Structure 1
Amino acid sequence: MLFWPVLLILLVTYLLNNRRYRWIYILYKTLPRDLTAGYRFLKLNLRLSKWKRNRETIPKVFSQLAEKHPDKVAFYFEEETWTFEKLERLSNQIAHYFKSKGYKKGDSVALLLDNRPEYVALWLGLSKIGVISALINTNLVADSLFHSIIVAHCKALIYGTDFSKAVSEISDKIKDLEHFEFGSKSFDDEIKMQPSTYPEEVESVELQDKVIYIYTSGTTGLPKAAVVSHLRYMYAAGGAHILANLSSEDVFYNPLPLYHSAGGMIAVGQALLFGNTIALRKKFSATNYWSDCKKYNCTTGNYIGEICRYLLAVHKPGTKVEHNVKKLLGNGLRPQIWNNFINTFGVQVYEFYGSTEGNSNLINIDNTVGAVGFVPRYADFIYSVILIRCDENSGEPLRNKEGLCSACQPDEPGLLVGKIQKKMAHAEFSGYADEKATEKKVLRDVFEKGDAYFNSGDVLIQDELGNYFFKDRTGDTFRWKGENVATSEVEAVISNIVELKDAVVYGVQIPGTEGRAGMAAIVDSDNNLDLEKLASGLRSKLPGYAIPMFLRIMDSLPMTGTFKLKKVELQKEGFDYYAIKDHRLYFYNAKVAEYEGLTQEIYDDIVNGKMKL
């Protein structure tokens, strides 16, 4: 008779201990989401397993699609229409051309070209003979451009006519490389003369082989060439396709650069691996975004955070935008504009988090406002991405007396890391062309001796439902206008221009904008800094997004007692006109490409959103 009352008391006691009763609520709230994600994740892994079993690679899968529906549109570009057959034929001709020039499996070639279908044909064709394409950021100039070519061990450079000036400025440094100018009559004619048959070398290319390098900025300063294998590319494109529940009939709008993973992998991969049609734009335009989508009958597309803000900024309140887009994939949509964006344009967003080279990839499939993705708290043994406790200022992991790290509790900010597991597409870390840079991103002995985790360099928060929210970027990088900026690179350029003056660069937040704008604090105790020379030098050496938007002139930089720079202190003060009493502040006026004094009126206009930077 006492059995059931005693059992009930024991059950209640168990649930009350450590708030275990919350798991009933957690499961109630998350089970539909988790079952949906689990089913899609299983589909993704089955697709990857099939590709592995059949030893498929990107060119093999694409050739099968081209044979299956040769007349289907692969790319819309301006007024051009590119069918799958057309893209297949051109990529085959490119493969034969570079084979005739002596290029072979394992060689790498730099590609510097604006968005256009031929961009994809070039690296796809090179991949058919096992040549790796280094996709160069088209904003780069001078030393950063030279470094990007050299760090990938490139034997040749393919560049568009528009980039002749940038190439000529470093020509002395790359004179040993073979040059191919896309758009020149000789190059184009030689390609057209090649056979369009399927190259036999495709069969020798393996799934784990490198296919492209995509560049990412890190704490080392100059761009790093992240290794992307065929499998890695397939996982990224396949993950987006299957987890966002796309169909092969979706028409994908892509205005993002093809040298970025969002444009070159997530978007283009839909055509190469799933037979989707891509509407490609040379450069993003806020005023043409929705009209392009309507023109090409797009049903899905991509974004970065700034794109969403720009689209809202040009939209006339109260007016309806005509389009057929149902889903947008991307990252960086600010929580503050999330609901306004989806309600204004009537789309579902699939916000994702990840890096080209990393294994800590997440996606938000249920439109949880502000979330960059999720991992069920009871399923981290399946998908081992986790937050660990770290130093608030440096981002360095905190270790106990045994030298191991500890996991964060729900709602506790921490460094996001992912366990490195070889031969598992979602957990691999192939690193960079530079082995030293690769090792710097690996954390060892995290939870047990001998384990290894990828260090994302980002601080996130996970709530009790398993949702992740981005908090901050650690290390000496910040993100501005959709690009990562390495502070050490900018500091080096400033030091070369102003010579003996000390300088430090950091990112500062501007209300109403995504990411952080660059700010430089420069020591000028003699009051002889030449601002015109500084602005001119920065314009010639850095891409526009990396030029510091604000300057702070100081007599000395703040240091700790152990001579460590107090960069966090400078970041907190930012460009606040009211907090910095000496008012030795300047802002970069992009309209005249010069630094001008930051007055109280201008500061107020920037903070209140009346002046855009």
Structure 2
Amino acid sequence: MIIATLGVASVAGILYFLFNLWWPGWYLDWTYRRNRIKIGNRLMHLISSGQFLVDVFEDKVKSIPKKAFVLYKEYTYTYEDMDKMANKAARAAIEIGVKPGSTIAIMIHNHPSIVWSYLGFMKAGYQIALINIYLRSRSLSHSINSSGANVLIVGEDPVLSEAILEIKDDIPNITTYVLGSSKQSTLFLSFDLVLSRVSDVTLDKNIRKHVLPTTTNMLIYTSGTTGLPKPALVSHTRTLAAAFAFQTFDISPDDILYETLPLYHSAALMIGFGNTIMSGCTMVLREKFSASHFWEDCRRYNVTIIQYIGEVCRYLLAQPKSNKDKSNKVRVAYGNGLRQDIWTEFKERFDIERIVEFYGATESPVAIHNITNKTGSCGRSSPYLRQFTPMVFVKYDLEAQAPIRNKAGYCIPIHTDEVGLMVVPLIDGKTSFQGYRGKKEDSEKRLLYDVFEKGDKYFNSGDLFRLDKDYYVYFNDRIGDTFRWKGENVSTTEVSNILTDLDFVTDANVYGVLIPGTEGRAGMAALHLTDSNIGTLTPAMIVSLSKHVRTVLPSYARPRFIRIQKQFDMTSTFKQQKTILVREGFDMNVISDPIFYLDISTYFYRPLDHEIYKQIMAGNIAF
């Protein structure tokens, strides 16, 4: 018996060895695949039964009516409370004449009113255009007009109605309603008045019988950092799929999510809010992100899940250390944009058990998640997993701003530990790109044709990634951010990570600038110092910085210019704003911030003054 058992164990061991040899990483592949199957089955069940996110919400109202749904400041809104207000919002929209299937634009800050407005307008089968509350002037009027809406609902913050008042002549076909009773509300129609006249009884679902899985649920706008915002079309199916994202870490009804990201953005609305509904848990809503109050709120509300994006985690690390840093109940941090240079520090300082980094743009046909807590990674893409989440990484020419193609005219896949552009095949019934509302050319710009064979069509993510030998994926840079200098590709993200290793640098925004008489773009970094009261680099800092870049970075990647900024420019979703910085370059005539240039004879940073600037522009100083 013992011999037989040993024999079976030996055979099993040999088979296990051979299996690992034949399919390295099979266990990781299966972990990812099993998670996808679980989510996919639940998603398909809802779609096949004709249920969408609003239907899931109404089911939760029936099963857990008295449970806390949204916590805002000192107020608690149960599922039932929010449902009644959503019903009133739907009836109010019908009362003012908005036809089923039409688009309603809403411009509301993080407040319970944006929650019940969104839910209510879904109940009536409307498409909802979510307008960025920080837009002004032409960007704001363009966003409203491009939505196709005839009605705009504005939040009670008087700043919002003032912004609309400034562009009133540019949106002649829009009827504006304002929430609340601010002074500016007298200049527009009152949505509160309409709400006061209607019932809070649930609407008959037949009113939204025109809604199909492919019907547009919402319009989410691109950030507009390189032009005017574009309204991305988001279907009800995509809305549902995003609402399963937290299943990657088994969210439960007992969880409490802390939401500080803006709800007009897909990360907060589609993922944070959507997963709150899907799981039946509670969402703590804060008007806007505050680094100084973040952990205080987490302790106050017993938060178990936090959501981040862009540089949020860096802002939190920049706060003074406290003996309360680990005093929280947060078990998961979910988001995208956590840079590798602070990943471990963030996790250890605040004692967070699990970080789930993901990648997936609003308009992207696919998304990937890091479900195995792999430091720095945003997911995994092995040959096996690509059968179910199709994506390919191809070589990219930064000078030509296009994928590199072989003699036959086809793209070239990267090897492991290389950087490449992520492209996604558009396959009927599997992946789709809905594009943007409005100009067809905006959608067409995101497509690549004849990628691997004649007639194929791929979505261009616009993002560069590195793939390691274990098929883990790491975000590298946006193709518009990476630049070439001295014939080499420079990753702005990589250089930023290295510069922030310096203890006196809180953040670094790296970009390329033009120097007369040179090819490509020279690196420039805008730095935010840990001690913002200093205002410039001290002699000791200059020595440390010069030595650091000389030691760690290759010659071509060393920033030729350093700019010290007291206040960093960020998008409303906490991504670094580069457009203005690139335009200003190192022009001493328009910049008042301290600037330093790299003297390549000594590889030492020296202050840039008007005389040196003139010499650079005349081509008298080599770089």
TM-score bracket for this pair, using the shorter chain length: 0.7 to 0.9
Which residue, out of 440, 443, 450, partners 2:448?
A: 443
Name the amino acid aligned to 2:395.
R
Name the amino acid aligned to 1:388.
V
Which residue, out of 373, 377, 382, partners 1:367?
A: 373
State the distance in 2 between where 1:428 and 1:140 align.
29
Which residue of the partner structure matches residue 393 of structure 1?
Answer: 399
Once the two structures are superposed, residues 407-437 of structure 1 have per-residue CA deviations (whole angstroms, 9 ceiling, x without a partner) of: 111112110011122433xx22111113221
Q: How has the CA–CA distance of structure 1 residues 88 and 422 changed in structure 2, closer, same or farther, with 3 Å as cutoff?
A: farther
Which residue of the partner structure matches residue 57 of structure 2?
Answer: 62
Deviation at 1:266, TM superposition (A): 0.8
Which residue of the partner structure matches residue 182 of structure 1?
Answer: 179
Q: How has the CA–CA distance of structure 1 residues 194 and 256 changed in structure 2, closer, same or farther, with 3 Å as cutoff?
A: same
Name the amino acid aligned to 1:166.
A
Deviation at 1:352, TM superposition (A): 0.6
Conserved in 1, the CA contact under 8 Å of 2:509 and 2:525? no
TM-score (norm 2): 0.75
SS at match of 2:417: coil
Which residue, out of 326, 340, 364, partners 1:335?
A: 340
State the distance in 1 between where 2:162 and 2:22 align.
58
- Once the two structures are superposed, the pairs formed by residues 175-574 of structure 1 within 5 Å of their partners are 175-184=172-181, 186-200=190-204, 201-217=207-223, 221-238=227-244, 240-316=245-321, 320-347=325-352, 348-424=354-430, 427-434=431-438, 435-475=440-480, 510=496, 511-512=499-500, 516=509, 568-570=520-522, 572-573=523-524
Deviation at 1:445, TM superposition (A): 1.6
- Unmatched tracts of structure 2, length 5 or more: 1-16, 484-490, 501-505, 528-541, 547-554, 569-589, 599-603, 608-623
Aligned Cα root-mean-square deviation (Å)? 3.3
Deviation at 1:271, TM superposition (A): 2.4
Moved more, 224-233 or 181-190: 181-190
TM-score (norm 1): 0.77
Name the amino acid aligned to 1:598.
P
Deviation at 1:518, TM superposition (A): 6.9
Deviation at 1:105, TM superposition (A): 2.9
Deviation at 1:98, TM superposition (A): 0.8
- Once the two structures are superposed, the pairs formed by residues 74-93 of structure 1 within 5 Å of their partners are 74-93=69-88
Which residue of the partner structure matches residue 493 of structure 1?
Answer: none
Name the amino acid aligned to 1:221.
G
State the distance in 2 between where 1:468 and 1:213 align.
29
Percent identity over the alignment?
33
State the distance in 1 between where 2:163 and 2:512 align.
26
Which residue of the partner structure matches residue 72 of structure 1?
Answer: 67
Once the two structures are superposed, residues 591-610 of structure 1 have per-residue CA deviations (whole angstroms, 9 ceiling, x without a partner) of: 9xx9414255999899xxxx
SS at match of 2:327: coil
Moved more, 168-177 or 101-110: 101-110
Once the two structures are superposed, residues 545-595 of structure 1 have per-residue CA deviations (whole angstroms, 9 ceiling, x without a partner) of: xxxxxxxxx7xx568xxxxxx5x413x25569999xxx999766559xx94
State the distance in 1 between where 2:409 and 2:151 align.
46
Matched residue pairs, number? 511
Which residue, out of 111, 118, 129, partners 2:113?
A: 118
Which residue of the partner structure matches residue 143 of structure 1?
Answer: 138
- Unmatched tracts of structure 1, length 5 or more: 1-20, 479-505, 522-553, 560-565, 607-613
State the distance in 2 between where 1:220 and 1:343 align.
36
Name the amino acid aligned to 2:509.
R
State the distance in 1 between where 2:93 and 2:152 align.
12
SS at match of 2:86: helix
State the distance in 1 between where 2:267 and 2:153 align.
22
Deviation at 1:35, TM superposition (A): 2.1
- Once the two structures are superposed, the pairs formed by residues 88-167 of structure 1 within 5 Å of their partners are 88-160=83-155, 161-167=158-164
Name the amino acid aligned to 2:433.
F
State the distance in 1 between where 2:40 and 2:164 align.
42
State the distance in 2 between where 1:22 and 1:217 align.
50
Name the amino acid aligned to 2:459.
F
SS at match of 1:234: helix
State the distance in 2 between where 1:25 and 1:313 align.
45
State the distance in 2 between where 1:310 and 1:462 align.
28
Which residue of the partner structure matches residue 35 of structure 1?
Answer: 30
